[in-house]
Amino acid sequence: MTQIDIRMDANSLRGQLVAWRRDFHRHPELALQEHRSAGIIAEELRGLGYEVETEVADTGVVGLLQGSESGPVVMARFDMDALAVLEENETDYASENQGVMHACGHDGHMAIGLGVATLMARYRERLPGTVKLVFQPGEEGARGAPLMVEAGVLENPRPDVVLAAHIWNELPVGTVDVTSGGVMAAADKWVCRVQGRGGHGAMPHLAVDPIVAASHIVTGLQTVVSRCVSPLETAVVTVGSFRGGDAFNVIPDYVDLSGTIRTYDEHVRGDVVRRMRQVIEQVAAAHGASADLQVEHLTPAVVNDPEVVRRVRAAAEAVVGAEVVTSGQRTMGSEDAAYFTREVPGCYFFLGSAKPEKGLDAPHHNPRFDFDEDVLPAGVAVITAAILDTG
């Protein structure tokens, strides 16, 4: 079987891939509530001869297919959840679930996953090991991946390689980006209460004003990345909320701040948190107030394994052509696939899906998000070839 066959076979599935994708798009489901989607996926996998496990971390589905020989286990992951977004597209496949929308492309991921399942079943005789297709719930901040890890998805059998891809509207359809090292950042949530002493708005000298102290903290935090992180490293510190006070003539008791930290490197992350703590505590103290920082680690960084990247790149070049396989796509967004790639050598890559001429280039999570469906057969071809070549 040559690589050309994979591309042709994937193209021949186009009608079915589009039908699956549009059906999922019409019926989007929020994180950890993907019951309908999971039901369809489980039924299709069973029909193709997969050994199927359902309700893995609530609504997750795992399909296992053993090849003719014993060999490595390759896991491919596809996420299933939609977002609480009111769709503004007027297509005939627009969301029928008011206020819920596949605005990140996970409808496409499920369709691609079923396409990969179809081809792997067809190529079973040539599969040099086992393929484990993991349909994951709750990627959008709902901890679906760590829940699946806790439920044992990385055991029985343990994968040797993990693959995952995202439909990506920052790249033109037809391109595939495979990048070594960090591609998605670690995400932390931080909160901080700036405690002052409330009082009369006309008598500030008798109070400790937390609004002024917190304002200086917000300004001070802007120096954490610009003055304390090496210019050759990457980090983001964002203040996302600033809440305090109810009345125009009252100095409130406290102000609550919250935000996010994004980094790739564990040391940089540690330095950023330490520096933030200094700024927050000491700027507050300078104003006679007090403050403490609490940090919750949400997701580690997605770091691709160089050897798996090399093999995925070779597979992608073989099926779509070297001229459209790029490198260098990294984002400060986060992805809970990191919980898989930190346990098992893996590659998380991007499937270009934008087509500006057709108006298909709205950003992810936007109410007008949509993508060029040519990405579906391309994604099936690349992931199928990558499974066969990395196994």
Active-site positions read 81, 139
| 350 DSSP β-pair partners | 166, 177
Give residues with Cβ within 8 angstroms of 237, minimum separation 6.
Answer: 221, 222, 224, 225, 259, 260, 261, 272, 276
Nearer residue to Zn ion within complex by CB, 101 or 279: 101
- Could you tell me the smallest distance in angstroms from the CB atom of residue 244 to Zn ion? 31
Q: Which of residues 87-126 bind Zn ion (CB under 5 A)?
A: 104
Query: Can you tell me the distance from the alpha carbon of 332 to that of 44, in angstroms, rounded to the nearest whole number?
Result: 35
Backbone angles phi and psi of 314, in degrees to 5: -60, -40
Q: What is the DSSP string of 281-329?
A: HHHHHHTT-EEEEEEEEEE--EEE-HHHHHHHHHHHHHHH-GGGEE---
DSSP-based three-state secondary structure for 154: coil
Three-state SS sequence of 64-133: EEECCCCCCEEEEEEECCCECCCCCCCCCCCCCCCCCECCCCHHHHHHHHHHHHHHHHHCHHHCCCEEEE
Nearer residue to Zn ion within complex by CB, 104 or 225: 104
Nearer residue to Zn ion within complex by CB, 50 or 371: 371
Q: Which of residues 11-50 bind Zn ion (CB under 5 A)?
A: none
Count, residues near Zn ion per rule CB under 5 A: 1
Cis before residue 210, ω within 30 degrees of 0?
no
Nearer residue to Zn ion within complex by CB, 317 or 372: 372
**Does position 167 bind Zn ion by CB under 5 A?**
no
Nearer residue to Zn ion within complex by CB, 53 or 188: 188
- Could you tell me the smallest distance in angstroms from the CB atom of residue 267 to Zn ion? 28
Could you give the string, one character per residue 54-93, with x where binding to Zn ion holds by CB under 5 A and - elsewhere?
----------------------------------------
- Could you tell me the smallest distance in angstroms from the CB atom of residue 171 to Zn ion? 14
- Could you tell me the smallest distance in angstroms from the CB atom of residue 26 to Zn ion? 19
- Could you tell me the smallest distance in angstroms from the CB atom of residue 103 to Zn ion? 7
Binding site for Zn ion (CB under 5 A): 104
